[in-house]
Structure 1
Amino acid sequence: MQTQSADQLTRKKCLPCEGGVDPCTLEEAQAQLAELEGWQLVQDGQRIRKQWRVKNFMAGMDFFNKCAEVAEADGHHPDLHIEGYRNVAVELWTHAIGGLSENDFILAAKIDQLPISLA
């Protein structure tokens, strides 16, 4: 996978993935994450995650609804987490390959463009 800027990623659309391809390497994932602010590798480098502290519970739910719209439009769906009513997180990986693909970084870049009411 070639490293791309966040702007380049947001202009792309996630492609369907039914498996049969290798996930990106740890080195590829680290290089791509250098272009995305605040995202971290988790689960032994098989997923990426970003966390925010929002103004209140409804701000978190509003952000998740916006995430859901973007995810549905691209056909690539994240795990959404809310803890302690103000701590939200998004976790991405390509389930069909058990690791990271370009789709995860595309969706991460698009999520970064969404408005969010921070604490």
Structure 2
Amino acid sequence: MPLSTESVQPIVPGVPPLTRREIMALLPQVPGWSFENGKLKRRFTFESVGEAAAFIGQVIALGAESADHYPDICLTRYRHVDIFWYTHASGGLTRTDFVLAAKLGEMVGGRTLFR
């Protein structure tokens, strides 16, 4: 079953993070995402700051609707949006981070807005 079809589980503080082996096994299931500094990362590039801001709103809505779980978001040069999934309550990545990355990847799909 694809990660994007899984239900997002609520974050439970203290639940241990995924092991490196588990992370490496899940990473191929989230195309476009990389594992950097203990976080899932992906960069999205837009034509304008307005498009970038609208996307950030969609990312926040995804986290709110799914599990009250939000990524770190960084806007640079007015049009690059870096998304970093990480579960602070667990001190690392959880399956929830991968499910939300997959859902976000599916949400953007092949739209030409994203580079």
Cα distance in structure 2, aligned partners of 1:85 and 1:104: 26
Deviation for aligned residue 1:113? 2.0
Q: Does 1:18 align with 2:12?
A: yes
Structure 2 unaligned blocks of 5 or more = none
1:17-96 to structure 2, matched below 5 A, reads 17-43=11-37, 46-74=38-66, 75-96=68-89
Q: Which runs of 5+ in 1 are unaligned?
A: none
Equivalent position to 1:9, from 3, 28, 35: 3
Q: Distance in 2 between matches of 1:50 and 1:40?
A: 7
TM score, norm. by length of structure 1:
0.84
RMSD: 1.5
CA deviations 1:67-95 (Å, max 9, x no partner) are 11111001211111110011111100111
Partners of 1:35 and 1:113 in 2: CA distance = 11
Query: How many pairs are equivalent?
Result: 111
State the TM-score, normalized to the length of structure 2: 0.87
Whether contact under 8 Å (2:29, 2:102) holds in the other structure is no
Q: CA deviation at 1:52?
A: 1.7
Which runs of structure 1 show a deviation greater than 3 angstroms over 4 or more consecutive aligned residues? none
Whether the 8 Å contact between 2:87 and 2:93 is mirrored in structure 1 is yes
Residue of structure 1 equivalent to 2:102? 109
